Amino acid sequence: MEHCLFISDLHLSDSRPRITQAFIQFLEKMAVKAQVLYILGDLFEYWAGDDTIAVGAQRASIDALRRLSKNVPVFFIAGNRDFLMADGFEKATGIKILPDPSLITLYGNPVLLSHGDALCTDDVAYQKFRNEVRSNTWQMQFLSQPLAARVAYIEQLRAKSEQEKSIKSVQIMDVNAAAVDDLLREFSYPPIFIHGHTHRPQKHMHALDRKTCERWVLGDWYEQGSYLKLDANGCHSQMLET
Ligand code: LP5
Ligand code: MN
């Protein structure tokens, strides 16, 4: 049956070769049979800039994506780890980067897609940081630094983020219910909304202004790979065999 696939939060890294292997296998065995593959952010542990491609970063994954995209369209929405992906990444992989959020139509239904971090509005420290680093001026300044300096900065930032996360509550790091409602209203009540980021895979039902919306949260790939399949009958959450 014709279907589309959705994944997010793989956090591919040279330090976790098993996940990279699982990802490449997923592309070659599963995604190749799909009509479209959507990657909703945090594909990589971090992305320091498109010039990392030239030094061989994530070569195996990038090559596998390029092979797939010759036959299956692949779309990407940036995560908080890989929002610096740009034209160089698109060219190297054949992937098209979409804005966050994006409303698409699949099998006759509007489907809203996002990474999901923008909805964590209770995490005030993160949102302040997010606003800063998503500005063009900040990104131009950051990307003008040598790659080694950027990587060193990101490593420090990762440590700071982990330290802050250890004292933030679970609720603060989840999506804010009112922010979800506002987004669903803004996009005229899409019946399906898919996002990642929180690493809490679940189907949530939203009843809002006498409309209903299924919100599907994708899982991360730390312990086991997973994906969401959407066909004319709706969404189905699937785990990869280990
Ligand atoms: O990613 P995850 O899920 O672990 O945590 C996120 C939020 N953290 C981040 C930071 C990234 O993990 C770091 C790696 C991204 C690299 C991107 C490359 C671009 C360059 C960027 C260079 C500046 O996104 C975390 C959220 C969590 O999701 C749940 O939603 O809570 O947010 C934080 O922890 C951020 C802090 O609250 C605020 C950070 C302030 C940083 C101030 C500058 C620190 C300077 C460090 C050097 C000393
Ligand atoms: Mn994320």
- CATH number of the domain that 220 lies in? 3.60.21.10
Q: Are 76 and 158 in contact, with CB atoms under 8 Å apart?
A: no
Residue 111 C-alpha from the chain's centroid: 15
Ligand nearest to the CA of 40: 2
Q: Any idea which residue has 């989840």 for tokens?
A: 174
Which of these, 10, 20, 199, 217, lies nearest to 112 by C-alpha position? 217
Q: What is the percent of the chain with per-residue pLDDT over 70, rounded to a whole number?
A: 100
In this structure, the residue with its CA closest to atom 45 of ligand 1 is: 157
Q: Is the CB of 156 under 6 A from ligand 1?
A: yes
Q: Is the CB of 157 under 6 A from ligand 1?
A: yes
Res 215 pLDDT > 90 = yes
| Residue 242, pLDDT score | 74
Mutate to test the pocket of ligand 1, among 9, 121, 129 (most ligand atoms within 8 A of CB): 129
In this structure, the residue with its CA closest to atom 5 of ligand 1 is: 161
In this structure, the residue with its CA closest to atom 44 of ligand 1 is: 157
Q: Is the CB of 80 under 6 A from ligand 1?
A: yes
This prediction's pTM = 0.98
Q: Is the CB of 129 under 6 A from ligand 1?
A: yes
Query: What Cα–Cα distance (Å) separates residue 32 from each residue in 41, 124, 163, 174, 242?
Result: 20, 40, 39, 33, 19
In this structure, what token pair is assigned to residue 141?
């300044």
pLDDT (tens digit per residue) in 66-120: 999 999 999 999 999 999 999 999 999 999 999 999 999 999 999 999 999 999 9
In this structure, the residue with its CA closest to atom 46 of ligand 1 is: 157
In this structure, what token pair is assigned to residue 59?
């070569």
Q: Which long-range contacts (CB under 8 A, 24 or more apart) does 216-219 make?
A: 216/6, 216/192, 217/116, 218/6, 218/7, 218/8, 218/9, 218/40, 218/194, 219/9
pLDDT (tens digit per residue) in 27-38: 999 999 999 999
Domain count, the chain: 1
pLDDT (tens digit per residue) in 110-168: 999 999 999 999 999 999 999 999 999 999 999 999 999 999 999 999 999 999 999 99
How much is the average pLDDT of 186-199? 98
Q: Are 34 and 1 in contact, with CB atoms under 8 Å apart?
A: no
Range of the domain at 60: 3-239
241 band by pLDDT with thresholds 50, 70 and 90: confident
